[in-house]
Structure formats: structure tokens, C-alpha cells
Amino acid sequence: MGGTARLIDQQPEPPKDAVKMEVLMLGMPRTGTLSLLSTFQILGYKPFHGSTMEQYPHLLKLYLEALQAKFYGTVQSYGRKEFDKLFMGKWNVSCNMPGSLLAEDLIKAYPNAKIVLSTRDVDKWQYSMKGSVDLAVKWKTFDWLASWDPDRIGLWWKYHKFQHSLRPILAPKGERQAYIDHYKRLNELVPPERLLNFDVVDGWEPLCKFLDQDIPAVPFPKVNNKNSFLASRRHRWWQMVRILMRKVSIPVMLLAVVSYLLWTTWLWLRLFAVIQS
């Protein structure tokens, strides 16, 4: 696959003044990641999160390519050069998904970055997954609605469906065991001085100590991930409905105008015929 053309190779190199990757947050989803996203922002970092791709939709194709390369060998796998392009010199924290799916590759690519594994009780995590991620993927109307905006929302849905399709590979023994194995594997891979297992309930102190940062004079962020996640999905759904209505309403309106003109023309012709007779 080494000679196969890749989308990432068409992307520009990051600028010379690009920020350097400092922190890789590689825990599982539904482990307080939105709270940590806010946390890193408060601390002055520039975190990249999956939601960032709403502003940079071209990254969806690139992350899709990176995941396909890793799990199916479709093209040459991404390394430091490719990840630098993905982060565009803009972000110095990779915050959870999709980075967690590329954890080993990112750890190898950025040997000086600190690793934060966001954690929570595995049973609570599994319950949260079923009430959010697993629930949202069952919205089958996305399959039809997304086709009305293929370059943006359609691409987003394709990327997320591919993520979900990886479940059998990521969790061959079930999601609970996959969660345990993920943390075990990364704790064995990363030297302890470079690694922090962190639960958001622990607040600022352990995180700031690990990052050599002063503790901010504000409360530790507490974002309800489940509510935010489902609200985001509902927002996407209504976005697609509005796009559908806009695209359908224009030809319907044109048809109505043409029909009205034909009808009034017919009436005038009938009237003219009556007058002539």
C-alpha cells in the first residue's frame, strides 16, 4: 500500500511557527472529555477535539483515511509528518476522539508529549455509552437526511458511521473488556513519569501538578457530556432537516409558479375564445 495516493499528502506542511504537541489525552470517550476540553482551554492550551472538525470539515476525510489505514491497511499509516499536518500547527493538545483510536501511533509520533488518560468507573462508563453514543447511532433517519448535504454533514455522518463500524475490531470481547484492555495497554506502553490516569472528580490539583501549571482561581469545569452529546446530535439532525427543506422548497416553489402561470394563461385563452365567439 506504500505507493497508494493519500489525501494527507495533498495537505500543506504546517507553518514554521506551528505550536508543538504537548499533551495527548487518550482516554475512552464518555470519561469527562468535554470538561477536560474546557480545562485545557482555561489553562491556556490549544486543544483539538472531535467537535473541532465542525469548523474544519476537511479534516473528516483525513481522519477517516488515518483510521482506515490503521485498521484496514488501505494506505500507508500516518506518522509524525502526517499528524503534524492534521494538527495544522494550531493545536498543542489532542483531546480524546479521534486521537484515542490512534493512541499508539500518536504516542510514538510525539515522544515528548505528556499522556493523560481520562478515566471513570467502567460500569458507569458502559451505562453512559449506551445512553448516548449507542443511542445516537440508531437514528436511522441520518442515513437519508445526510445525503442532502454530502460535502459537510454527509461526510460527518460517514466518518461517524465508520467509527461505529470499528466496534467488532476494538471490542472483540465486549466493550467492558475493551475499556479495561485500553487502559492496561497504554499504562504498559507509557513510562509512568510521562503518564497521568485522571478522573475529573479529582479536580485541578493532580492535573496541574502533572502539567506543571498553577491551579486556576476558578472552579473545575463540569460539563454534562451525555446531555451535550445528545444536544449536538439533535442540532445536527435539525440542520439536515433545514437543508432538506431549503433544497426541496425551491423546486416546489418554482413548480407552483410555473403551474400558476400556465393556469392563468389557460384562463386568459379561454376568456379570449369566449369573447371572439
The pLDDT of residue 91? 97
Q: How confident is the model at residue 192 (pLDDT cuts 50, 70, 90)?
A: very high
The pLDDT of residue 206? 97
Enter the C-alpha cell of residue 223: 460539563
d(CA 253, CA 211): 59
Q: Give 226 or 160, the one with higher predicted confidence.
A: 160
Question: Which amino acid is residue 178, in one-letter code?
Answer: A
The pLDDT of residue 153? 72
* 85-89, 203-207, 253-257: range with lowest mean pLDDT: 253-257
Q: Which residues pair with 93 in a beta bridge?
A: 23, 47
Q: Give 271 or 197, the one with higher predicted confidence.
A: 197
Peptide bond into 98 cis (omega under 30): yes
Enter the C-alpha cell of residue 131: 445512553
Q: Is 19 exposed, middle or buried (0-12, 13-18, 19+ CB in 10 A)?
A: middle
Q: CB of 94 within 8 A of CB of 107?
A: no
Best mean pLDDT range from 26-40, 137-151, 226-240:
26-40
pLDDT tens readout for residues 116-156: 999 999 999 888 887 766 665 665 666 656 665 666 677 77
The pLDDT of residue 147? 61
The pLDDT of residue 143? 63
Distances (CA, A) of 18 to 115, 141, 161: 20, 41, 32
d(CA 154, CA 146): 4
pLDDT tens readout for residues 35-62: 999 999 999 999 999 889 888 999 999 9
pLDDT tens readout for residues 147-168: 656 666 777 778 888 988 898 9
Q: pTM for the complete prediction?
A: 0.79
The pLDDT of residue 128? 82
Q: Give me the mean pLDDT over the 251-260 stretch.
A: 52
The pLDDT of residue 149? 66
